[in-house]
């Protein structure tokens, strides 16, 4: 009796795992068909790591949490995972874009926006960026915000 219940439970779990894999596969196909590429012309910091200038794609995590973005270089698949929170705009965004905070000679990834939406993702500031922001405020300087528009591929 207990063995039958256990087998049925394992069968149901197997079906659910298979279904989840199929949904994930469909999500990946949909994401790849609407890939947006960002050409970043400068080195920048994301998730505490300095990334070189180049072409990048940003992918929102759909399986575990929308709070995590994957940022990957196109030419070698290097990248980082970035922790984010929701940020809202007053209007729907026309373009997908990456926004950077620029302090002196350093750029920090700050936001990610998707075209057709009025909410985006704000990158959680690193301690290094917080320190630079405080130092800038003391001198009366503000971070320059630089936005790069992505291209549909």
Q: Is 80 in the same domain as 100?
A: yes
Three-class SS of residue 44? strand
Q: Is 88 in the same domain as 141?
A: yes
DSSP type of residue 23: H
pLDDT digits (tens, 9 = 90+) for 71-108: 999 999 889 999 999 999 999 999 999 999 999 899 99
Q: Is 97 in the same domain as 66?
A: yes
Q: Are the C-beta atoms of residues 84 and 60 closer than 8 Å to each other?
A: no
What is the tally of structural domains in the chain? Answer: 2
Q: Is 87 in the same domain as 121?
A: yes
Lowest mean pLDDT: which of 23-27, 128-132, 138-142? Answer: 23-27
| pLDDT for 114 beyond 80 | yes
Q: What is the pLDDT of residue 83?
A: 92
- Tokens representing 66 are 């929308």
Q: Are the C-beta atoms of residues 111 and 71 closer than 8 Å to each other?
A: no
Q: Phi/psi of residue 130, each to 5°?
A: -60, -40
Q: Is 90 in the same domain as 133?
A: yes
Give 101's strand partners.
108, 145
pLDDT digits (tens, 9 = 90+) for 21-71: 334 444 443 444 468 999 999 999 999 999 999 999 998 766 666 789 999
Reported for 141-144, long-range contacts at CB under 8 A and 24+ positions apart, including other chains, are 143/101, 143/102, 143/103, 144/101, 144/102, 144/103
Radius of gyration (Cα) for the chain, nearest Å?
A: 20
- Tokens representing 13 are 């779990």
Q: Is 5 in the same domain as 25?
A: yes
Q: Is 26 in the same domain as 58?
A: no
- Residue scoring higher pLDDT (3 or 59): 59
Rounded CA separation 83/80 (Å): 10
Q: What is the pLDDT of residue 30?
A: 41
**What DSSP line would sit under 47-68, residue for residue?**
TTEEE-SEEEEEEE--SS-TTE
Q: Is 88 in the same domain as 68?
A: yes
Domain region containing 9: 1-33
Q: Is 18 in the same domain as 77?
A: no
Q: What is the pLDDT of residue 66?
A: 73
The reply to whether the predicted model has a pTM over 0.85 is: no
| pLDDT for 150 beyond 90 | yes
């Amino acid at each position: 009796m207990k063995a039958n219940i256990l087998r049925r439970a394992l069968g149901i779990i197997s079906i659910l795992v298979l279904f989840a894999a199929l949904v994930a596969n469909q999500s990946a196909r949909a994401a790849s068909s609407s890939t947006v590429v960002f050409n970043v012309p400068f080195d920048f910091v994301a998730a505490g790591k300095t990334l070189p200038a180049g072409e990048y794609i940003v992918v929102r995590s759909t399986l575990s949490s929308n709070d995590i973005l994957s940022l990957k270089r196109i030419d070698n698949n290097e990248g980082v995972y970035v922790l984010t929170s929701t940020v809202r705009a007053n209007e729907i965004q026309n373009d997908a874009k990456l926004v950077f905070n620029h302090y002196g000679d350093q750029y920090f990834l700050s936001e990610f926006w998707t075209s057709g939406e009025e909410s985006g993702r704000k990158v959680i500031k690193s301690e290094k960026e917080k320190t630079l922001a405080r130092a800038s405020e003391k001198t009366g300087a503000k971070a320059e915000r630089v936005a790069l528009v992505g291209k549909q591929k």
